[in-house]
Amino acid sequence: MGLPLAGVKHIIAIASGKGGVGKSTVAMNLAVALSVAGHKVGLLDADIYGPSQPQMLGVADEKPVAEEGQNITPVVKHGVKLMSMGFLIEKDTPMVWRGPMVISALRQMLRQVDWAPLDILVVDMPPGTGDIQLSMAQEVPLSGAVIVSTPQDIALLDARKGLNMFRKVNVPILGIIENMSHYICPQCGHEDHIFGRDGARATAVEFGVPFLGGIPLESQIRALTDAGQPLVIAAPDSLSTIALQGVANQLWQQLEARASQATGPVKIVIE
């Protein structure tokens, strides 16, 4: 386990075993939901090969400030401090880097950015169980990991691998989120479980970890995310926003409870 980040209370990894499950969208909206709830929040886009958070937060044209000899000042939007490789490369430029270069970039974004003070740093992990996941677990003391999956069996196969990978490196599993749990028709409000039903909930029970909730699939999520507008800001009354706020609240309460258990009460002995 690596050294803590000065001034950062909690660090959580938002992960998935495979791509295409909406992990980055969930990570961004959770970060904004935590900020709206009054917490000091940072968002690290650790997907070096496919950074998407600048576009999702609507800051793709901005740049972090980096003065010689000083740490990088991250971009701030909706109260969330953001750092991503997406700020440092051209939009259509592929990252043709080998593992050591990727890990070096990850370390710099962790250690050479002015994150503090933060209540929580949300790390949007790349899909899979490779170098970045292992390096993140070794570089900083993660408070926990959240697994994002859709309900169908194919996605859950890889979600199980991601969950077990974090367990192997002794990172607590804070829970599983079922994204795209059901589709809501914008015209009539009908619910359709197009990807299956309750698969992530059953997996959470199987592995003995919390089920943090299901986030429905609404057409406005795609439209708002493409436009760089977080759902929890642009559509505060939507069912998906309500679900995301519930997940954010659960995560914060769980992190604070774990921190309290780790430190324990102060015992005063009078002799």
Q: pLDDT tens, 131-143?
A: 898 899 899 999 9
Q: CB–CB of 210/40 below 8 Å?
A: no
| Statement: residue 192 has pLDDT above 60 | yes
The token pair that represents 207 in the structure block: 């592995």
Where b means 16+ CB within 10 Å and e means fewer, 25-34 reads: bbbbbbbbbb
The token pair that represents 52 in the structure block: 């998407």
The mean-pLDDT minimum among 166-175, 190-199, 211-220 falls in 190-199
**Which pLDDT score is estimated for 264?**
53
Task: Write down the pTM of the prediction.
Answer: 0.93
Integer Cα distance of 38 and 51 in angstroms: 26
Confidence of residue 246 (pLDDT cuts 50, 70, 90): very high
Contacts of the segment 73-76: beta carbons below 8 A, 24+ positions apart: 73/113, 73/114, 74/42, 74/113, 74/114, 74/115
3-state secondary structure of 22: coil
Q: pLDDT tens, 152-164?
A: 988 999 999 999 9
Instruction: Report the pLDDT averaged over residues 23-52.
Output: 96
What are the Cα distances from residue 189, in Å, to 22, 182, 200, 219, 239? 22, 11, 23, 12, 11
| Statement: residue 271 has pLDDT above 80 | no
Q: HSE-up of 20 (CA within 13 Å, CB side)?
A: 8
Instruction: Report the pLDDT averaged over residues 42-65.
Output: 94
Confidence of residue 266 (pLDDT cuts 50, 70, 90): very low
- 200 versus 188: the higher-pLDDT residue is 200
The token pair that represents 234 in the structure block: 């642009």
Instruction: Report the pLDDT averaged over residues 44-65.
Output: 94
Q: CB–CB of 151/199 below 8 Å?
A: yes
| Statement: residue 270 has pLDDT above 70 | no
The residues, any chain, with a CB within 8 Å of residue 79's CB and separated by 6 or more, are 32, 35, 36, 40, 41
Instruction: Report the pLDDT averaged over residues 181-185.
Output: 87
Confidence of residue 22 (pLDDT cuts 50, 70, 90): very high
Instruction: Report the pLDDT averaged over residues 102-111.
Output: 93
The residues, any chain, with a CB within 8 Å of residue 188's CB and separated by 6 or more, are none
